[in-house]
Structure 1
Amino acid sequence: KITAVTGAANPVTGPYFNFSTPEPTGIVAIAAPDDPLLGLVSVLAPAIATGNTTIVIASEPAPLPAITLAEVLATSDLPGGVVNILTGHRTELTPWLASHMDVNAIDLTGVPHEDIRDLEDTAAENLKRVHRPTTTDWTDDPGTARMTAFLETKTVWHPVGV
């Protein structure tokens, strides 16, 4: 349904039909917030619901809910490799993910505010989408912003008539 919300048939002058459709960005690295389960699911679900593959750094002070979720996902219908959960120190793992050439986007929700700027600069060196945290109140209406943050728009031109 996200295609119906974010896609469009674009009006153009000339004998062309033009439409835009959203596509997954690819591999999304996510620094999960310290809210062990609700925060984790709130940042993970939008990325995989739009077709992306994820690498998630679990909450540093409370990684157990993330590990339990990994066991649940391993026995679910989710294809293997869609959700990859890492445990460890965020300060050690996030610079590697921000600079890695195979990571297409990074969600900095769980990163301390003082580290965000450095990680944005690192991610910019290899043209990566960066999602900055806007709210950490997981009970608010999420809207579609977190889902559309990890989508790219493909526009197709097709000749009409003749």
Structure 2
Amino acid sequence: MTEDDRRTGRDESEEERADRMWGELIQEVRVAQTGVQILFGFLLTVVFYPKYTTLSDANQHIYIVTVVLGACTTGALIGPVSLHRLVSGHRVKPQAVRLAARLTFLGLVLLLITMASALLLILRVATHDGYVPWLIAAVVAWYLTCWFGLPLWARHRHTTGTEDR
């Protein structure tokens, strides 16, 4: 058993591991991309509704920031597909998987910020109550818990001192 076998818990070559990790990563990206595409599509249409012109300057700025965040999120989550296509056949899959994983993580962070920004805009328009920032903080805390806290806790709790990088 090699050092790599002990680290991964599998008997696979670096290329086989990269192939497996690539497949897993693409499945994860598909889930996130669907949500981003729906949210971004909705955001792109908002400006064409008559109510948009009645929004305060602050709400219009929040909208613009949210659209730009949505575009950046879309780019980060589609990036791994382009990366794979451009490096395919050049024998750099393990490196491409690591880069694609970083792009995906960045996409998830941007998705969290985009969703918080969209929620801020919607709640500011729907209500002018002072509890809006508290609601958004609670939702962001929930996202942080579900998307990062629980996975990191599980990784810490269920690994035996080795880390799958």
Q: Place the TM-score, normalised by the shorter chain, in its bin.
A: under 0.3
Structure having the higher helix fraction is: 2
Give the number of the structure whose alpha-carbon radius of gyration is greater.
2
TM-score by length of 2: 0.22
Which protein has the bigger strand share? 1
Q: TM-score, normalised by structure 1?
A: 0.23
The structure, 1 or 2, with the larger RCO (C-alpha pairs under 8 Å, 6+ apart) is: 1
